[in-house]
Amino acid sequence: MWGRRTYVMGIINVTPDSFSGDGLAGDLDAIVRRALEFQEAGADLIDVGAESTRPGHQPVDEAEELERLLPVLDTLVQAIRIPISVDTYKATVARRALEAGAAMINDVWGLKAGPDIALAAAETGAPLILMHNQETTSYQDLLPDIFRSLSHSKQTALDAGVPEENIILDPGIGFGKTADQNLEVLRRLGEFKTLGSPLLVGTSRKSTIGRVLNLPPDQRLEGTAATVALAIAGGADIVRVHDVAEMVRVCRMSDAVVRGWRPGDWTG
């Protein structure tokens, strides 16, 4: 499965306060339209989040997160063919999401906020994305510190019974890192392959792109495309993006160069 091409995860925020301005809280029709658009554009899966993770966001409790999330899952599992990932760090939410038809859990705290998520993944056989995150941007040595953190998250998942082949790691671009640190992680992404798991990278519309280009989130398409292409060159297996149609094209072109991928009707 891994290595032949890059998989595209489309972002659907069912929050009122998404950093990128694409939150669709409460608008089921708009959510379904976007999911269908993503599917038609070539997304391999979608990632649904019901709590914002932007800097300065207001945390929500389990009840509110489930109130936002469950009606969306109930609708989407009937409306689309591609798998649904749920972006949550709460074990109860993860369990309910899997029961409702989600196929994967994306934990932005890498089991540090709720290690029982790993038990839910182990019991259901769901793949588990573990992202590096921390409260500060202080590091003794950036990459070794991130490696140690991700290795600990991975071991926690393994100890809970999650098969190694179901674990995906995310270096956490934009989380607990300065802009320069994010750029260094992206530049050295290939070193993360030593951790022995597929890599997910999420640079889409992030503030680092905004700082480099001095552009707001809705004008960061080209910057995102550059980081996606470079992430693929560095070994990314999945990219998490807002602009699915454009990034599918970026991925396929990058895969043709980096991985030798060819379209089905390739004639030379």
Question: Which residues are part of the catalytic machinery?
Answer: 206, 240
Using DSSP, how many helices (H) and how many strands (E) does the chain show?
9, 8
Do 142 and 185 meet the contact criterion of CB atoms below 8 Å apart?
Answer: yes
Task: Kindly give the interhelix angle for 116-124 and 142-159, rounded to the nearest 10 degrees.
Answer: 50
Taking alpha carbons only, the member of 1, 88, 13, 10 closest to residue 44 is: 10
The total of other beta-carbon atoms located within 10 Å of residue 113's CB is 14
Residue 267's Cβ-count burial label (10 Å; 0-12, 13-18, 19+) is exposed
The total of other beta-carbon atoms located within 10 Å of residue 101's CB is 14
Beta bridge partners of 12: 48
Between CA 47 and CA 107 the distance in angstroms is 11
Between CA 10 and CA 245 the distance in angstroms is 9
